[in-house]
Structure 1
Amino acid sequence: MDLSSPQHIYAMVSAEVEAILRGLKHGSSDQNVSEAIGNARDVFDKLARELGADIASLQKNAKWEVFEIAFYGETNAGKSTIIEMLRIMLDEEGRRSNRQQFKQLQSEFNLTEEGIAAMQDRVEQCKMQAAELQAKYDKVLAAARQHSQQLRAQIEVLGQQVAQIKAAAPFWQRFIYLFKQLPAQKQARELEQALNDSEVQAAGSAALVKQACAEAQQQTAAAEDALARSEGQLKQLEQHADGEIIGDGRSDNTRITGRYEFTVAGQRFALLDVPGIEGSEQQVNDEISHAVEAAHAVFYVTASASAPQKGDDGRMGTLEKIKSHLGAQSEVWTIYNKRATNPAVLAKTVLVSKDEKDSLAALDATMQAALGEHYCGHLAISAYPAFLGVAECLVPGSTKANSRAKFLDAFPLETLLDRSSASAFRTKVASELVSNSEAKIVRSNFNKARQVVVTVDDKLTALRKETFKPLAKRLHTDAVDAEKQVDLAMSALKSRAQAIGEDAVDRFVTVTRERIYAQIDKDIGNDDFKEALERCLRQGQEDLEKEMPKLMQGALEKFQSEIAEVIERFKEHASELLEAYGSIDMGGLGERFELKIKIDNGINIPGLVGAVAGAAILLTNPAGWALLAVGAVTAIVGLAKAVWGAFSSSYRMSQQRKAANENLNRIEDSLRESVRKGLAAGWPQLEPKVEALMAAVQVPAEQVRQIDTILGSAQKQLKTIIKTIEKTGAK
């Protein structure tokens, strides 16, 4: 196969499969063969449509220019964290642009930890000042109120004194008090003036404090507004912060594959952040399928060192999903992303413990068994601490920022990247994995095209092994059993027919002898004897001709019933087999294929069994079997005629009985021979019909064998396509 371009691999595969289908469209003059070809074509057509859809999807999603690396696994395994770490370490363009905007916003609005702390302090100071002024204002008002109350109490006492003096004074004295103030009255007026002056002074002081309090409250509001604005700016800043793609633990955080392109040392590659594989929504499943179809290498990311588990109760487990999604990949790695939210996890210089190494060895063995030679092994990393170490653009005061400070307090950045294995992983991805990427891209895409054909080939193998071969074998076994039972029925028919013939001859001889003896006992002459013997023989022949068909018909009806029962049982069982095997699950197509084999094709029970019975009808017609008797009687009587008249009546009667017995004995032998010859002449007419019946019983098994043979031929052509892809992709 010479491709003008590697991208033409998809058109080549489609064309080759179409050629196989065209080859299956040639019919046959043999109806059974034609039906078998039709069945095989229907099976292959459905598989070919599945293959066509897969090839079209590959062609749509395949990447030929950029080496694509997919990060695949369950939610919370850390796929996005690893990718975000690499985006920062490898200075990915999108991350670089976001970091520039982050720093610009941070500088413009002073969104540093120090700046935010200063704003928070300012708010607290303003609140404290406002509270102090409010307390002072309240104190001034309370003191003024207390002083006023004291003066009012003194004035009231003086007033009471004046009233008492006036009440006790004589009339004339009271008249004088109208024009002359008492000392108490004079003192009270002085106190009233003092009260008025005090209240005016207190009001002035309170007003000054109140104004200062209002100004402090305004300053507090301004400080709080500035802090609130900074919080809004922090949200804006968060949009550009490192870690924007890292999820929050929700299972649906990543629903669309993220793609991040890099160029390192002249090598172009892209990292794909694939949705978590535990989702069941069609949208997520489609995203996963498209991503792995585009990928040329895949990292299976897991937060557990244990091997992926199988499913149960009909549900796919992680291992089955890995086999389904990654079976066509040419390079698959496992990343064990060790969780570490505390610096203590990285206290040791070795990231992976002995127990974890043992578990990872078992994981590698499981993955190797599932993916074969394309599985490359495992890598261990602790991505979150490494991400925190390189994440300079984090929102001040955020959980990530606080965690970063905690890790960097415990380790220098270089040490943190070494102990988390981030530095080694960066080298692995940006150097080793993407080296010779052009050849890897071709090999990966060819392997996926090959795997699509392999999948159909595997399904054909399973169909042939699990359906057509066992079905053909069981149908053949049942047909052989039916043949044996019909053979037994045929043998029984021959025995019964022979017995019926023998019994009929015995009855013919016995009855005829009784009849002729009755005539002889009447002392008849020889001529009368001859006539009577001929008459008795004819009557016996007539009786035989009437009796034999009924007896033979009964035997034939029994034979017909037996073979009809055998064939009906076969037909019933064959129908059950076809029902069990014929509804074939086409392996993920979402449909079932109904095997179209009609049991009545060539096994028309009434017709074939009727033909068998028709071929045997001559067994019921003994006409001519007894005709020799008349000639024999004439000859025997003729020889004895000359001497019979010379003897006595008793002697004549004994000679007549002797002549009758000799004739009957001769005729008996002749009849038995005629029965044997008649039956022998009938079997060759019957046996071909029985053989035709048995051939018809084998038709279903033969049809299934032919379907299997045709599919086997198509499968050989598929294997040729597979080898061609392997050979071309290896160039």
Structure 2
Amino acid sequence: MKIGTPSEIYKKVTHDIESIIYVFKSKKYNDVKYEEIEQAITRLEEMKSKLSLELEMLNDNAEWDVFNIAFYGETNAGKSTLIETLRIILNEPTKVCQREAFDFKKNEAIDVEKKITKHCKLVEEINDRYSLEIKILNEKSDLIKTDICEIEKDIQCFEEEIINLKKHINEKKKSSVINFFLYIVGILKEQQILSNLENSIQNSSFTLNQLILECDKLEIQINSKSEEMNLELEKMEGMYLKLKENQHRLNQELMHLSDGLIIGDGQSDFTRDVKAYKFSRHNQDFVLLDLPGIEGKEELVTKEIDSAVKKAHVVFYITNKAAPPQNGGDAHDGTLQKIKKHLGQHTEVFSIYNKRVKNPKQLIPGLINEDERKSLAELETTMKENLGDHYSGNKLLTAYPAFLSIGKTSYDTFLKAQEKFLKNYDDYEKLLSETYVDRFSNWLISDIVTDCKNKIIKSNYRKVSVRLNDTEMSIRKICDELITVKKLLEKTRRGTVSQLDESTNTLITNLHNAVTQGINCFKKSIREKIYLEIEKDINGRTFKEKYKEILEKALTELEVNQTKSIESALDSYKKDIERIIEKHNRYESELLDAFSKQMFLNLDNIEELNLKRVLNWKKAVGELVLVIGGLIVGLFTTIGWVAIAFSILGAIVSVSKNLINIFDKNKRMAYQKSIANKSIDKTSTAIFDSIIESINESNNQLIVYTEKFKQDIRKPTRNLDSMICILNEASEKVGILKSTIIREGVNYNENN
């Protein structure tokens, strides 16, 4: 098979499969019905259509230029965590740009944080300055207010004294003429005091007004300062809000630029789409594919997983369980079935044990304990058994602490975890070394991402060969099942033939037993009846007459009884044969129906496999029984038996006629019984031999008929053999094509 370019392999394989089927269509088949051949070819065409569809899907998803590595595994196994860490270690271009942008935004955020701190300090200074000035003014105002209160109290006291003093003056002027005169003149002592008090009130009121005026001025100053402070603080608040908005924006940008965005949060199906990350090392381009978990909601991710697996050239099966993948139940596939289904076509498959470590104390020397080591050995065995030589081994690491050691993030969860881990280690490099991820990264570059072009071709050819192998196995399975059908049919038919022989032998035995039993009854009946007559002391002539009379009746009864017995035996034989054939037909029908559904072939339409179409069993068996019964019964009659019996009796009587007429009663009776016994025995023997001879003659016809049945049952399965031959030859041709594909995939690089 010559292929121009590797990518032409899909068209070439499809063309070769079509050529294989064309050969079968064009070939002439002798002594075989074409309908059966057409069934086999139609089944091959159905398989070809399925293969063509799969090849088309491979072609649609094939990658011939860039080496693809798929990270495949269970949900929450840490695939994305490992890939994110590798993106950082291997300087994946988009990750480098992202981290540079993170650093730039981080510096901006630090500057903004400094400005906010400085701004808050300035606000505090402004607040303190104004507060101090207002405090001083308030203290002055409070002192004045205290004085005002004192003056108001003094005025109130003066007013009370004046009231009392006026009352006293009024009383005193009435007390005497002198006092009245003095009052009129205005020279009463009390009047002088009253004047002084009024002057004091006037002076105090003036002072009070001055103080109130001064206090009002201070209040104006205080309000003015407060307004100035509020205006300045409002201005500062606006600046602060802008700074906080800028800080929030930067924090949001930092969140989007943080490492670990692709890492799941523990929820099922966090990753639903396949994400590709492109790298370049040593002039080798390669892509890491982050696949959805295989244990999530299959309807959401199956198509994505299938497409990515078809594109990948190497697959890493990621698991966080130190145990072999498990089988599922009847209702759904388990992890192991999914691995076999998705990864069976790949050239290189590795298992990666990503140990779940959330606490620094879990990082032990060597990373795993002895129990985990034994469990991983079992995982190795299981993967090898199910993937064969294409399983390439296991790697050990723990991705989460590795990510924490080098990740740049603004997420609180990661920051707290980083602090917890780095507190137990001197620096991040030591922590990274403990995780084995740096070793894995070096191995990935040095051992996996090498000779990529050849690996791509080998991997893509391998996928085609797997599809051809599946087709070959499907054809081989049908072929093997047809062979199984043939063997089961042959076994069933041998059993049916054996049962027919056994039933025929049973018929002969039953006929012989019926004759023997009938003759014995015949002998007993005659003997009992003639003995009763002999006991009556009859003479020779009477004896002879009575014996003939009894014999004729017994022979008539014998004929009736023998006919019934033989018919009964034949009826049982007929029912037994019908039962055997019906059971045979039912079993073969069920067998063919079951295999037809299993193989999608209509085996029931193959004439040679359906005995119900070969002959009408019930009619044939009925005819056989009628013929055999007629042959047996037709060869014996009462007239013939009477003639035999009388000739035997005459011979015996003629030999013993002198003895019959013996005068001694007892001797005569004894001789008569003796003669009767001899006649009965010889007659019975002659009749028995006659019937057995009839049975033996009919047995030859029985053998002829049953042999015809057996020949029909043993009828060769030429059509079935032809279908087996066609499918077997097709399987071999597909196998040769598969081997050619594998060989060319291995040797392509050498030849080009």
Q: TM-score, normalization: structure 1?
A: 0.76
- Structure 1 contact 130–213 (Cα < 8 Å) conserved: no
1:613 to 620, 625, 640: 625
1:161 to 2:161 alignment: no
Cα distance in 2 for partners of 1:63, 1:235 equals: 37
| Aligned twin of 1:211 | 228
Other-structure match for 1:494: 508
Partner of 2:573: 559
2:465 aligns with one of 436, 445, 450? 450
CA contact (8 A) 1:389 1:417 kept: yes
Matched, 1:191 2:208: yes
> Are the equivalent residues in 2 in contact too, given 1:307–1:364 (CA < 8 A)?
no
Aligned to 1:380: 396
Closer/same/farther in 2, CA of residues 663 and 294 from structure 1, 3 Å limit? same
Report the more deviating stretch, 614-623 or 573-582.
Answer: 573-582
The 1:594/1:180 distance shift into structure 2, 3 A limit, reads farther
Q: Which residue of 2 aligns with 1:7?
A: 7
Query: 2:555 touches 2:641 (CA, 8 Å); kept in 1?
Result: no
User: Pairwise CA RMSD of aligned residues?
Assistant: 5.6
Aligned residue runs from structure 1 range 170-249, under 5 A: 170=169, 181-249=198-266
Match of 1:730 in 2: 746
1:310 is paired with a residue of what secondary structure? Answer: coil
User: Does the CA contact (< 8 Å) of 2:152 and 2:208 recur in 1?
Assistant: no
Q: Is the 8 A contact 1:27 1:34 kept in 2?
A: no
Residue 336 of structure 2: aligned partner: 319
Higher alpha-carbon Rg = 2
Task: Assess if the C-alpha contact under 8 Å between 1:148 and 1:199 holds in 2.
Answer: no
Specify the code of the residue in structure 2 equivalent to 1:83.
I
Give 1:87 shift.
Answer: 3.3
1:433 Cα deviation after fit? 1.6
For the residues of structure 1 that align with 2:290 and 2:48, how far apart are their CA atoms? 32
1:2-36 CA distance string (max 9 Å, x none): 333333433444455556667888998989x8897
Deviations 1:617-671 (A, max 9, x none): 433541576777799899999999xx99xx9x989xxxxx999999999987775
Which AA in structure 1 matches 2:149? A
The 10-residue stretch of structure 1 (224-233 or 253-262) with the greater mean CA deviation from structure 2: 224-233
Deviation at 1:487, TM superposition (A): 3.0
TM superposition shift of 1:297: 0.9
Note closer, same or farther for the CA distance 1:186–1:472 as it changes in structure 2 (3 Å cut). farther
Q: Which range moves more in the overlay, 415-424 or 701-710?
A: 701-710
Q: 1:13 to 1:600 in 2, by over 3 A?
A: farther
Structure 1: 5+ residue stretches without partners: 587-591, 652-656
- Equivalences, count: 709
Structure 2: distance between partners of 1:484 and 1:449: 50
Contact persistence 1:127–1:216 (CA under 8 A): yes
Moved more, 260-269 or 541-550: 541-550
User: Which residue number corresponds to residue 675 of structure 1?
Assistant: 691
Q: Is the 8 A contact 1:40 1:707 kept in 2?
A: yes
Task: Measure, in 2, the Cα distance between the counterparts of 1:630 and 1:711.
Answer: 71
Aligned-residue offset at 1:610: 2.7
Residues 1:599 and 1:85: Cα distance change in structure 2 (over 3 Å): farther
> In the TM superposition, what are the counterparts of 1:605-684 in structure 2 within 5 Å?
606-619=618-631, 621-622=633-634, 672=688, 674-684=690-700
Residues 235 and 387 of structure 1, relative CA distance in 2, 3 Å threshold: same
Q: 1:557, CA displacement in angstroms?
A: 1.0
Report Cα offsets for 1:306-334 as digits up to 9, x if no partner.
13331354454433332332122111223
Q: Is the CA contact (8 Å cut-off) linking 1:67 and 1:295 kept in structure 2?
A: yes
Contact 1:112/1:396, CA 8 A, preserved across alignment: no
- Please say which of residues 540-549 and 11-20 is displaced more in the overlay: 540-549
State the alpha-carbon separation in 2 of the partners of residues 658 and 355 from structure 1. Answer: 101
Question: Partner letter of residue 453 of structure 2?
Answer: E
Give the SS at the match of 1:4. Answer: coil
Task: Give the secondary-structure state (helix, strand or coil) at the position aligned to 2:262.
Answer: coil
**Which residue is 1:309 aligned to?**
325
Deviation at 1:255, TM superposition (A): 1.0
From the superposition, tell whether residues 267 and 661 of structure 1 become closer, same or farther in structure 2 (CA, over 3 Å): same
Q: Is contact 1:612-1:689 (8 Å) kept?
A: yes
Counterpart of 1:69?
A: 69
Partner letter of residue 554 of structure 1? S
- Do the aligned partners of 1:616 and 1:685 also contact (CA within 8 Å) in 2? yes
CA distance in 1, matches of 2:651, 2:280: 129
Structure 1 vs Structure 2: percent identity of aligned residues? 26
- Residue 432 of structure 1, aligned match among 447, 459, 462: 447
Match of 2:667 in 1: none
Kept in 1: contact 2:492–2:584 (CA 8 A)? yes
CA distance in 2, matches of 1:166, 1:247: 93
Question: 1:83 and 1:567, CA in 2 relative to 1: closer, same or farther beyond 3 A?
Answer: same
**Would the aligned equivalents of 1:66 and 1:268 in 2 still touch at CA under 8 Å?**
yes
CA offset digits 1:135-161 (Å, max 9, x no partner): 658857864774565345334323422
Given the superposition, is the C-alpha separation of residues 481 and 149 from structure 1 closer, same or farther in structure 2, using an over 3 Å criterion?
A: farther
Q: By how many angstroms is 1:192 displaced?
A: 2.7
Q: Which residue of 1 aligns with 2:177?
A: none
Cα pair distance change 1:40/1:675, threshold 3 Å: farther
Contact 2:102-2:258 at 8 Å conserved across structures: yes
Question: Could you tell me whether the CA contact under 8 Å between 1:417 and 1:423 is conserved in 2?
Answer: yes
Distance 1:53 1:411 in 2: 57
The CA distance in 2 between the partners of 1:502 and 1:400, in whole Å, is 107
Is residue 441 of structure 1 aligned with residue 448 of structure 2?
no
SS, match of residue 339 in structure 2: helix
Whole-angstrom distance in 2 between the partners of 1:611 and 1:178:
170
Question: Are residues 1:293 and 2:310 paired?
Answer: yes
d(CA) in 2 for partners of 1:83, 1:277: 17
| Aligned mates of 1:667, 1:355 — CA distance in 2 | 95
Assess if the C-alpha contact under 8 Å between 2:404 and 2:418 holds in 1.
yes
Deviation at 1:194, TM superposition (A): 0.5
SS at match of 1:493: helix
SS in 2 for 1:250: coil
Q: Which whole-Å CA distance do the structure 1 matches of 2:725 and 2:576 have between them?
A: 34
Letter in structure 1 aligned against 2:622: G
